Amino acid sequence: MTNSPPLVELADVSLEGRVSLQLNLLQDALANARYLVGEGADPKLIYDILDRIEFLPSLIASAGREESQLFYETIIGLADANPTFNATAEKARILSTEPI
């Protein structure tokens, strides 16, 4: 993980824009999980991944800075579960409101 400053300050992005960015990341995460299922990944891994992301829509709906940060941290943490999520995690790092 890097300690570099964010490339995009979410304070400068409209609420609609932030929601759109977060929904795109969620879609990426779900597509990655589906890919792992297709590859015959361990069901416990899939369970863990889905368990991590099931609450993300409520964080998107909350639209607060702390909720947004938790959203990005959760997406970034998916790369710890499986490298399939590395590209999605990198997008989240770029959009994160705090250095991670």
pLDDT for 25-43, tens place per residue?
999 999 999 999 999 999 9
Beta-carbon contacts of 74 under 8 Å, excluding residues fewer than 6 positions away, are 52, 53, 56, 59
Instruction: Kindly report, residue by residue over 17-27, the tens digit of the pLDDT.
Output: 788 899 999 99
Q: Are 2 and 92 in contact (CB under 8 A)?
A: no
The model carries a pTM of 0.79
| pLDDT score for 25 | 95
Mean pLDDT of the chain: 85
Q: How confident is the model at residue 9 (pLDDT cuts 50, 70, 90)?
A: low
Q: How confident is the model at residue 11 (pLDDT cuts 50, 70, 90)?
A: low
pLDDT at 47 exceeding the cut of 80: yes
Nearest to 51 by CA among 31, 81, 84: 81
